[in-house]
Amino acid sequence: MNYWLKTQSHPIRCLLYLEWGFLAIASMASFLELVLAPQIWQHKVSDLLVLAVFALLGVTSYIDKFATKTIYVCMHFSLVLIWLPFSGALWLLSILLLILMIRCFFMLPLQGRWIIAGLAFGIVLLARMQQLYSTHKLLAFSQLSQQWMSQWSDVFWFGIVLLLLTQLMQQVLITQQIQQQLAREQQRWRQYIQQQQKLIALQARHHVACESYDALGHALAAINIQIQSALKFWSIDPNQAQEFLTQAQRVGVTTMQEIRNSLRALRIHTIPPQIQLPLEQKHDVTVSFSPQDYLAMNYNKRI
């Protein structure tokens, strides 16, 4: 299994672009903060390092085994929890958890995705509570509700974005599954059409073979009648016998030409759609005579 170049095996490209867009925005914002406020370079260096590690984890492909999936998810959570005491930037924490949610979406079932979303929201909530406790600004809801909403608005917005992202990815996954099912049905329909075309071609070849066999039998019977008639009239009327032989020769030439046409049709393995004929339509391989006609002609001449 190739564990690199996830861009070639990502189930849905738009979510891949969203994930790397989050990483690019967070990296640019952290770098600008490092340039504009060099006095807090320790925190920003830790932010850039965690973003770099997240980027390295993002180039790995999607994993099949459950144990490997668990290790992969735990590595992300461990990295976030290790980085959190050194920086504590809530906006960057939200972006990292959203990236983790996107990466885990295609590896886990629906129940696992909701567990990851709950853990992500819990981490953001605890991080916000820790910030407010450390600055002694935690207010009760009864105290200045406007200030209370300003303290927790970022947590609420993160919960709303997380819920919308989860629903969006669920709808995208359902759409992808429908498209894959339609593609499988189309492939099955193409195979069915090909089988039907092969069956029609086989039936057409069988039909041509049967018609050729019948025509050849009629022609041989007619030639045999002409030869027998010529033998009987040879001693009585040589001119009449010569006519019978001429007719037998003409029938033989016509039959050989029809046999060549039939063999040429049998060599065609597939019948193109533009020249496919109904099975009820007769192929033009019959001869322009019948044994009964020659018998009637012979009896009339004898009379």
Domain segments of the chain: what residues? 11-107, 201-270
CA distance 159 to 122: 10
Report the alpha-carbon angle 11-91-17, nearest 5.
20
CA distance 92 to 97: 9
CA distance 269 to 251: 30
Tens place of pLDDT per residue across the chain (303 aa): 444 444 445 556 777 888 888 888 988 888 887 777 776 667 778 888 888 888 888 776 556 677 788 888 888 888 888 888 877 678 888 889 999 888 887 788 888 888 888 999 998 888 888 877 766 555 544 454 555 566 678 888 888 988 888 888 888 888 888 988 999 999 999 999 999 888 888 887 787 778 777 777 887 888 888 888 888 878 787 888 788 788 888 888 888 888 787 777 767 644 444 444 443 343 433 334 444 443 344 434 443
Which of 277, 165, 298, 172 is CA-nearest to residue 225? 298
CA distance 41 to 86: 11
Instruction: Note the pLDDT of residue 189.
Output: 94
Phi, psi of 101 (to 5 degrees): -65, -40
pTM of the model: 0.57
**Coil vs helix vs strand at 283:** coil
Q: 89, 34 in Cβ contact below 8 A?
A: no
DSSP letter assigned to residue 272: -
- Alpha helix stretches (DSSP H) within 7-109: 13-36, 41-58, 66-83, 90-105
CA distance 256 to 223: 12
Instruction: Note the pLDDT of residue 183.
Output: 92
Phi, psi of 265 (to 5 degrees): -70, -35
Instruction: Note the pLDDT of residue 103.
Output: 85
CATH number for region 201-270:
1.20.5
Q: How far is CA 210 from CA 203, 213, 240, 282, in A?
A: 10, 5, 34, 11
Give 98-146 as a DSSP string. HHHHHHHHTTS-HHHHHHHHHHHHHHHHHHHHHHHHHHT----TTS-HH
Q: Is 136 left (phi over 0), alpha (psi -120 to 50) or beta?
A: left
Instruction: Note the pLDDT of residue 285.
Output: 36
Instruction: Note the pLDDT of residue 272.
Output: 46
CA distance 154 to 198: 65
**Coil vs helix vs strand at 32:** helix
Q: 36, 196 in Cβ contact below 8 A?
A: no
Instruction: Note the pLDDT of residue 73.
Output: 86
